[in-house]
């Protein structure tokens, strides 16, 4: 992990390439259920399958994150950056 003095703070954000719609979340869950039908399922499987997105929550495709940001992560603010 970098020290405070040599950190590039602009590179410490969780970068996301896509925000999933409710329709896409349902499709992903159906695909995971089909893929896992004959496989052992752990706690994380059931946690995901039984998860319902809250009104103030988004599901994102993570493109990159620093190693010192463990996932999953909860944020209080999200910036929509347009290039």
Q: Which pLDDT does position 46 carry in this prediction?
A: 96
| 3 within domain boundaries | no
Given a cut of 70, whether residue 62 has pLDDT beyond it is: yes
| 9 within domain boundaries | no
Residue 35: its H or E element: helix 22-35
pLDDT in tens, 1-38: 445 545 555 556 667 778 899 999 999 999 999 999 99
> Cis peptide leading into 33, omega within 30 of 0?
no
Q: Which pLDDT does position 19 carry in this prediction?
A: 86
| 7 within domain boundaries | no
**Greatest distance between any 2 Cα atoms in the chain:** 50
Domain housing 74: 14-83
Other CB atoms within 10 Å distance of the CB of residue 20: 15
State the total domains in the chain.
Answer: 1
Give the residue-averaged pLDDT of 55-74: 74
| 62 within domain boundaries | yes
| 5 within domain boundaries | no
| 52 within domain boundaries | yes
């Amino acid at each position: 992990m970098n020290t405070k003095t040599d950190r590039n703070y602009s590179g410490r954000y969780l970068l996301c390439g896509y925000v999933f719609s409710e329709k896409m979340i349902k499709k992903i869950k159906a695909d995971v259920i089909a893929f896992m039908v004959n496989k052992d399922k752990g706690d994380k499987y059931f946690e995901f399958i039984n998860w319902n997105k809250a009104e103030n929550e988004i599901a994102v495709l993570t493109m990159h994150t620093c190693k010192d940001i463990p996932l999953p992560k909860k944020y209080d603010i999200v910036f929509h950056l347009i290039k």
